[in-house]
Structure formats: structure tokens, C-alpha cells
Structure 1
Amino acid sequence: MPVATPTVRQILEIASKYRLDLTEQDVADFRHVIEQTLVPYRRLDELPEPTLPVHVPRTPGYRPNTEENPYNAWYWKTDITSGKQGLLSGKRIAVKDNICVAGVPMMNGSQLLEGFVPDIDATIVTRILDAGGTIAGKAACEDLCFSGASHTCATGPIRNPHNPGHSAGGSSGGSAALVAAGEVPMALGGDQGGSIRTPSSWCGVYGLKPTWGLVPTTGSMPIAYSVDHCGPICAGVEDVARMLAVIAGHDGWDSRTIAAQTGDYMAALGQQVRGLRVGVMREGFGHPESDEAVDAKVRDAAQRIASFGAEVREISVPMHYDGPPIWSGIILEGAAEMMMKGHGVGTNVPGYYPLKMQEAFARGFDTRLNDASDTVKLVLLLGEYLNRNYHNRYHSKAQNLRVLLRQAYDEALRQVDVLLMPTIPFTATEIPSRDAPRAVSIERALNMQANTCPFDVSGNPAFTIPCGNVNGLPVGMMLVGRHFDEATLIRLAHMFEKSMDWQKN
């Protein structure tokens, strides 16, 4: 349908919004010029659009019933495989539901996208299929991925397999819960503030947020361009290495991945860690909300690492405390502009734009915004307020400060090879009741990110690995490395995992 010339009334409405004074003649003149300017748009409508390939035939699958979905972690079940042999042969993989799988419904945890069916496979989905993996289904996630707990999903709370009354974590809660429950050995997650690491920590599995720009997000719904990450959530370190080896690297679309430096992640498995320098980061412990038992478990784990021959010592990065404010300035306004007002894709980003997803989200945004979670409404209200009244200056200042935050971690990582701290300062919280006060529900969704969100800002790879339990709930230890040095994190995590397996036996 060709783009129409705006009416006089439409031009006056836009002028009014921006306090632009136009005479009747002004409007007539601009309308004529706009009509001529839109001529190339009619040609744009005629040009064929490139699309992401769909190589593997499939049936759409089905929505599992309650009996088949005890933790409410599945959104949709499928069985899609290429039959090829590769690094992921025999592996069943759940895909977070903000990632497109052609022909399979995608909701992104939100009623705003309900009924949408993608016509493309995301780059990482194609890579998994080409490596012999089987797409077992879509893992439920939080409403537009904007919650660190698991109670905002439109299809109902996602429950922690270790205690179903507690949160699985968010926003990739379905992915982590399915791995923890043993339903799949591998899953894809996304991370903008901790959304791979929080659920992995709380569910007691392995979750790696790769370096920003290592894994393409082409064909997935973003939150904010400068903090979007995608990576593996797995039952073991070897599977993390396998998944990362398959999905990492530039895809020709995502401009963030042009500078990606891939490593030999499989070769890192089993390597000794003697002499590796590990910095126990002082500012990662003792937050006001920290559980002393969680801090103690992680410090004990650090001592176990020292027993492997690694050089373990305390290190300080004072600017870590400023990471959450910097992150807030970037993601709240960034999400309002890109995810919400930008109809799920935004503008001015060189990459692939899933037009059908954009159009579906725009319809939902225009007609069903009242059905969104309170965390999503908060993003829109606060982001728009800051835009209108402060002209996005806080977003701009935070983007400038991110350079200093990255430099602070870079300096620490010149003194040591890995930073170590608790992933989340406390174990999984209880899922709030449906009638909980709004302030409680929102606070429970966003209160856990003191250690995770700074590394979405700095872009450093961060790997959460289980290191024990407190009152029956898992504790995660986070390892942070230099940019594109995921191999060192895998090397250290694999050694630690083997020591934990020995203890179990």
C-alpha cells in the first residue's frame, strides 16, 4: 500500500505537538513539498526486500498443556532439525521467545505481540540448525524482557524447579528453568541487565553473557542497541563452549559483530588454570541487599579455585558502584525510544529489520498497551518523561560515562585475568502474589542487578556458574573477563565444575 500524502489536519497535529506555528499557506506549501518528497517512497514500496533464510522445513508445533509444562517455562514446543551432523548433533535446544523461529508463534512474554508468527529464522537459529541441533521449542520469558524476576510473563509466572514458589529469574527464566529441570541441555537467552545470568544463577545452571558484539542478535527483538547481548544457558560448561562456538561471529547484518574476535572455546576445556590471576572484586560483595551466606559461598568457591593453583587475591574497582546508575540512564531511555516508541526495532541502527515483527508490535502498542506489565509501563512513562523534560541528557551522559566504566574494568583486568564475585547478591526470591502492591511487584522485578548490569554497559563477558546452595536454593559465582576472552572464563569454569562434580561423588 503506497505511502499517502498527509492531510492538512495531520500536518497541523504534528506542528502542534512540536509547538511549530504554521499559517494556512505554510501548511499548503509543506504539503506540496512533502508530496514530491514521498515520490521515492513509492519506489521503495516496489523494491523486493531481502530476508533472512529459512533452510529447514518444519511444522508449527503446539502450546503444551499444564501437565506437560509444570514450571510454565515453555511457551511453545517444536521439533525442528536439519538432520545435519555438527557440533550440536543430538542436542535439544530451547530458544528464548524474543528470538524469531519461522512458522512458530512468538510472543516475547507480552500480549502486545500475541498472535505474531515470524517468517524468518534468526541468525543464531540458522547456525544451530546447521550445526545439527534440534530446536525443541520457545522458552517463555518476561514481558518484553523487562524484568529480572519471572512474574511478569503474560502467560503466567515461570517457576523455579528448585522451589516452585520462588522465581526462576528473568528475563530468560524459561530458558534457565527448562535446563535446570532437565528438559533440555541447552537454551538461548538474552541479556541487557543480567537476563542470562540472573535466571542461570537462581536456577543453578551455567549462563554466559558474551562480549558485546560477539554474537549477532539479527532476527531477535531488542531492548536497547548498546546493551543487547545473546548467549547460552546450559547444564554444563562443555555445552556452553559448544553453543558459543556455533553462534559467535559476524553474520553480515549485525554491525556490532563486525569487530568480533572468536576464540577456540572447545580447546579451552580441560586446560589447567595454574598461574591464572583471579581478582575477588571487593565491590561485588557486601551490598545493602546482600545475603551474607551467599557472599560466604562465593568466597569459599574462590578459595577452591586457589587450590587449583590459580593466584587468587582481592582487587578493588570503586566505579563498579556507579555501574547501576549508568546502566539505568542508558536502558530506560534507550528502551523507551527503541523498544517501545521504536516499535520493537528503533531506527538508525545498521542491521536487519524484521518488518513483520515491527508491524505486529506497532499494532499491539496502539491497541493493547493497557495489557502490558507494570515494568513495561514504567519504562514508557519514565523514558518519555526524561525525553520531554530533559531532552535525553541523562541517556547521553550515561553513554559518555560508559567509557569510563569500561576503562575501570580494563585497568583491573590488566592486573588480573578474571574478576570474581557473586552473580546475584541473594538467592531466588518468592514470586509475588497476583494482588501484591504494584511497588512490591516492580521492586521484586528489578532489585537484583547490582553486579550484573554494569557488565552489560561495559560489554565484558560474564559467566555465572553454580557454586553451592543456601536453604535449598542455588548460588551463582560470576567470572568476568577481558573483551572477547570467553575462552579463559570457560577454562576456569570447567575446572571448577569438575571439582564440584568430584565433591558430589
Structure 2
Amino acid sequence: MPVRTPSLEQILQMAGRQGLHLSAEDAAEFRGIMAGTLDAYRLLDELPEPKLPVVAPRTPGWRPSPAENPHNGWYWRTEIATGGPGPLHGKRVAVKDNICVAGVPMMNGSALLEGYVPDVDATVVTRILQAGGTIAGKAACEDLCFSGASHTCVTGPIRNPHKPTHSAGGSSGGSAALVAEGAVEMALGGDQGGSIRTPSSWCGVYGLKPSWGLVPVTGSMPISYSVDHCGPICASVEDVALLLSVIAGHDGWDHRTIPAQVGDYMGALGAGAAGLRVGVLQEGFGHPESDPRVDASVRDAIGALERLGAQVEGVSVPMHRVAPAIWSGIILEGAAEMMLKGHGVGHNVPGYYPVGMQEAFARGFDTRIDDVSDTVKLVLLLGEYLNTHYHNRYHSKAQNLRVPLTQAYDAALQGVDVLVMPTNPFTATEIPPRDAPRALAVDRALNMQANTCPFDVSGHPAFTIPCGTVDGLPVGLMLVGRRYEEATLIRLASAFTTSRDWRNS
């Protein structure tokens, strides 16, 4: 639709909303000036829009039946492949439903995007297809990805394969559940507060949040530019290394990836733990909400690392305990402005904008905002309040505090190669009933992130690996490394996982 010059009434209404006091004569003069300026927008309408490539033929796929979706991990099923060779040949990959796959429905777990079908493939999807992988479908996720549990998805709760009454974790709950149940070997997840690591930990699989900027998020729906990450969730350390090798690196669109340094992830496998210096992060244990049995299980795993030849010592980063407050300051206002008021894509960020997704989201936001989850409503209300009444000062201060927080972890990582701690303070929680009190449902969605969200702020790579169980539910050990040193985390995880020592610890 060609852009039209606003009417006098529209100009006066806009002025009033911004606190401007214009007369009708003022408005008429501005209207005349605007008409010339908007000629550039009419030309913009005529210019062809660049499109991300689509490299494989496909059909739209199908909605999975209950029999093929026992834990509600799928949103949509597909069979997309180039048929060519490559390192991912024979591997089936589930794609989190906030990532575009051309011609395949996408909801991002939310009623706001119902009916949207992308016309582009995200960069990570293209790379998987070019590497010979098969896109087996879209993994269900939380409503606009704003939950660390798995009960806010519009298509219903995603259930933990180890105990279906319990959460799979979120927001990449479908990705982790599908890997855990054996439907796929690999999946893509997103992580802004722990959304790769929490579901991987709670479902007993392997999930790596890469360094900020290592993997492009081009063609994905963001939450907030400064904390958005995309990475692998897999059934083994080897598959994590393999998938990361394929999806990592600058893509020409996502400017965060310009300094990305891709490592030899496959070469790190089997290198052993001997000589690696492991720092046990003191502040990662004993949170008020921690289950002592989870802490004990992780400490047993650390003992196994020491027996494998790692040098283990205690490390303290006092800022770790206040990092969730810094994260809150960044993501609440960031998400409200970029994801919600920014129509799902935001603005003023150098990168690729899926215009069709932006338009679809805007329609949903204008007509169905009442249908979103309470966590999304909370983000919208708090973000608007903090913007309107405090002029984004807390977001700005939190962004400034990002630097000393990052420096604190960097300083700790000068003396050790890896920091270790529990991924989450407790194991998977029960899925709240539909009629649960709002406060309980929101708390269950956000209460597990004390150790995960700090590293979305700092941008350090963080890898969760299974290390035991409590009451039949998996426990995750989280490994954190220096920026772009994912290979070190893979090396240590490989040594731990291939050793039988930890299973008897």
C-alpha cells in the first residue's frame, strides 16, 4: 500500500500524543512539508526488497497427530532437505518456532502470529540444509519465548519426557523434549535468559548457548538485540559440536557476528580434561531457591572432572548474585520496545528485517493482544511503565552495568579455563493447571534463571550437560568459558560424558 500524506486531523492527533501544541495553521504547514519528504517513501515502495535464499524444495508440511506428538513438542512437521551430501547428512533437525522456514507456518508459541507463513529461510536453516541436514519440523515454544517453563505455549503445555506432569523447560521446550524423546538428534533453540540451557537441563540433553554474536539470528524473531542467542540442543556432545560447526560464523546480515571466531569444535572431542583449569563458582550454589540435592549432584560431577585430570579450584564473582537484576533491567524494557511495540522485529538495528513477519505481528498485536500469556502481558505493562515514568533510565543503567559484570567474569576466567555451577537451582517443576493463580503461573515461568540469565548479559558461552538425577528428573552441570572458546567447553563436556566415572560418583 503506497504511503499517504497524513491528514490535518491525524497530524493534530499525533502532536497531542507527543505533547506538542500545534494550531491548525501549524499542522497545515507541516503537512505540506511532509508531502515532499514522503516522496522518498513512495520510491522506497517501488524498490525490490532483498530476500534471504531458499535452497531446498518443500511442501507446507502437516500438523502432527497426537500419536506422533506425545509430549506436544512439535508445532508443525516437515520433511525438507536438499538431498545433497554434507556433514549433517542423515541428521534430522527440529527448528524452534521463532525461526523462519519458508512456506511453513510459524506461530512463535503465540496467538499473535497465527496464520503467518514466512517467505524466507533463516540463515541457520539455510546452513543446515546446505550441510545435508533434514528439517523435520518446527518445535513448539513458549508464547513469544518469554517463559523459562513450558506452560505458556498457545498450542498447549510441552511435557517433560522424563515425567510428563512436569515442565520441559522453556522457552525452547519443544526442541529439548523432541531430542529427549528421540524424535530428532538435533534441534535449534534460542536463549535470552536461559532458554536453551533450562529445557536442555530439565530434559537431560545437551544445550549450548554460544557466545553472543557467534551464530547469526538472521531470519529469527528476536526478544532484545543485546541478549538474543541461537544455538544447538542435541542428544550428544558430538552432535552439539557438529551442529555448531555448521551454523556458526558471520552471515553478512547480522552485525553482531562480524567479530565471530569459529573454533575447531570437532577437533575438541576426545582431547580429555587433563590440564584444564576448572573454577567452581561459589555464587552459583546455595541460592535461596536451590535444592541441596541438585547442588550435591553437581559437586559430585565436579569431583569426577577432578578425577579425570582437571585442576579444580574455588572461584568467587560477587556480581553474579546481582546479575539477574541487571538482566531484568535490560530485557524487560528491551523486549517491550523491540519485540512488542516494535512489531516483533524492532528498529534501528543493522540486520535483516522479515517484513512479512513484522506486518503479521502488527495485525495480531492490534487485534489479539488479550490472547497472549500473562508473562507477555507483564513484560508489556512493566516495559511501558518504566519507559513512560522513568524514561528508560533503568534500562540504560543496566546496559552500563553489563560492562563491569562482563569484566568480572573475564577476570575470573583469566585464572581458570572454565567456570562450573548448576545450570538451574532445582529440577523441572510441575506444570501448573490452567486455572492456577496468575502469580503462581508467572512465578513458575521465571523462577529458575539465577545462573543462566547472567551469561546472556555478559555474552559468554555456556554449555549444560546432564550430570545426574533427583527423583527421576535430570540435573544439569553448566560450563561457562571465554568468548568464542566453545571448543574448550566441548572438550571438557566430551571428557566428562565419555567417562563412566561420573555415573558412579
Structure 2, unpaired ranges of 5+:
none
1:310-343 deviation digits (Å, cap 9, x = unpaired): 1011110000011100000000000000000000
Match of 2:159 in 1: 159
User: Is 1:271 equivalent to 2:276 in the alignment?
Assistant: no
- Residue 66 of structure 1, CA deviation: 1.3
SS of alignment partner, residue 166 of structure 1: strand
Specify the alignment match of 2:344 in structure 1: 344
Look up the SS of the partner of 2:188 in the other structure: strand
Which is worse superposed, 80-89 or 426-435?
Answer: 80-89
How far is the alpha carbon of 1:501 from its aligned partner?
Answer: 8.6
1:457 partner amino acid? V
1:85 and 2:88 equivalent? no
Q: Which amino acid aligns with 2:460?
A: N
**Matching residue of 1:490:** 490
Pairing 1:122–2:122 present: yes
Kept in 1: contact 2:304–2:501 (CA 8 A): no
Q: CA deviation at 1:78?
A: 0.4
Q: Is the 8 A contact 2:150 2:158 kept in 1?
A: yes
Query: In 2, Cα distance between the equivalents of 1:272 and 1:498?
Result: 9
Amino acid at match of 2:306: A
Q: Provide the C-alpha distance between the structure 2 equivalents of 1:148 and 1:378, rounded to a whole number of angstroms.
A: 14
* 1:321-340 to 2 correspondences below 5 Å: 321-340=321-340
- Aligned-partner residue type, residue 150 of structure 2: S
- Deviation by residue 1:65-120 (Cα, 9 ceiling, x = unmatched): 11221101000000001111111110000000000000000000000000000000
Shift of residue 404 of structure 1? 0.5
> Helix, strand or coil for the counterpart of 1:295?
helix
CA contact (8 A) 2:277 2:417 kept: yes
Task: Tell me the secondary structure at the aligned position of residue 368 of structure 1.
Answer: helix
> Deviation per CA, 1:116-135, whole angstroms, max 9, x where unpaired?
00000000000000001000
In 1, distance between residues paired with 2:144 and 2:181? 24
Counterpart in 2 of 1:364?
364
Return structure 1 stretches of 4+ with deviation > 6 angstroms. Answer: none
- In the alignment, the residues of structure 2 paired with residue 355 and residue 162 of structure 1 have an alpha-carbon distance, to the nearest angstrom, of 40
In the TM superposition, residue 151 of structure 1 has moved relative to its aligned partner by 0.1
Q: Which amino acid aligns with 2:177?
A: A
User: CA separation of 1:502/1:297 partners in 2, compared to 1, >3 Å: closer, same or farther?
Assistant: closer
Alignment of 1:84-123 (within 5 A): 84-123=84-123
Q: Distance in 1 between matches of 2:249 and 2:201?
A: 26
Q: How many Å separate the matches in 1 of 2:136 and 2:299?
A: 37
Aligned match of 1:320:
320
Quote the Cα distance in structure 1 between the aligned partners of 2:349 and 2:489: 30
Match of residue 426 from structure 1: 426
| Alignment partners' CA distance in 2, 1:496 and 1:13 | 64
What is aligned with 1:196? 196
Shift of 1:344: 0.5
The answer to whether residue 236 in structure 2 is matched with residue 240 in structure 1 is no
Distance 1:17 1:483 in 2: 44
Measure how far apart 1:369 and its partner are.
Answer: 0.2
Deviation readout 1:379-437 (Å, 9 max, x if unpaired): 10000000000000000000000001000000000010000000000000000000000
SS at match of 2:150: coil
In the alignment, what sits opposite 1:388?
Answer: 388
Name the counterpart of 1:217.
Answer: 217
Kindly provide the amino acid, as one letter, of the partner of residue 363 in structure 2. R
Q: What is the rounded CA distance, in whole Å, between the counterparts of 1:275 and 1:499 in structure 2? A: 16
Matching of residue 206 in structure 1 with residue 206 in structure 2: yes
Cα distance, 1:36 vs structure 2: 1.1
TM-align CA RMSD: 0.8
Paired amino acid for 1:97: D
1:138 is the counterpart of 2:141: no
Does residue 460 (structure 1) correspond to residue 476 (structure 2)? The answer is no
Q: Which residue of 1 aligns with 2:374?
A: 374
Which secondary structure does the structure 2 equivalent of 1:71 belong to? Answer: coil
- Decide whether the 8 Å contact of 2:467 with 2:502 is kept in 1: no
Gap runs ≥5 in structure 1: none
Question: What's the CA shift string for 1:277-296, capped at 9, x where partnerless?
Answer: 00000000000000000000
Work out whether residues 468 and 503 of structure 2, in 8 Å CA contact, stay in contact via their aligned partners in 1: no
Secondary structure of the structure 1 residue equivalent to 2:436? coil
Cα distance 1:500–1:76, how it changes in 2: closer, same or farther (>3 A)?
farther
1:289 paired with 2:289, answer yes
- Partner AA of 1:400 in structure 2: N
CA offset at residue 9 of structure 1?
1.4
Structure-2 separation of matches of 1:116 and 1:167:
27
Cα offset, 1:265, TM superposition:
0.3
SS at match of 1:50: coil
Alignment of 1:69-80 (within 5 A): 69-80=69-80
Q: TM-score, normalised by structure 2?
A: 0.99
Q: Counterpart of 1:353?
A: 353
What corresponds to 1:479 in structure 2?
479
Q: Tell me, in whole angstroms, the C-alpha distance in 1 between the residues paired with 2:290 and 2:465.
A: 18
Q: 1 CA distance for matches of 2:502 and 2:165?
A: 30
Equivalent-residue separation in structure 1 for 2:269 and 2:84 (angstroms):
24
The SS at the match of 2:334 is helix
Please tell me the residue identity of whatever aligns with 2:438.
R
Closer, same or farther: CA 329–500 of 1 in aligned 2, 3 Å: farther
Q: CA deviation at 1:34?
A: 0.9
Matches of 2:500 and 2:133 in 1, distance apart?
28
Instruction: Please report how far the alpha carbon of residue 499 of structure 1 lies from its aligned counterpart in structure 2 after TM superposition.
Output: 1.5
Q: Distance in 2 between matches of 1:311 and 1:403?
A: 29
- CA drift of 1:503 comes to 4.1
Looking at structure 1, the residues matched to 191 and 5 of structure 2 have their Cα atoms a distance apart, in angstroms, of 41
> In structure 2, how many angstroms separate the alpha carbons of the residues matched to 1:500 and 1:330?
41
TM superposition shift of 1:24: 1.2
Moved more, 11-20 or 156-165: 11-20
SS at match of 2:67: coil
- Work out whether residues 301 and 502 of structure 2, in 8 Å CA contact, stay in contact via their aligned partners in 1: no
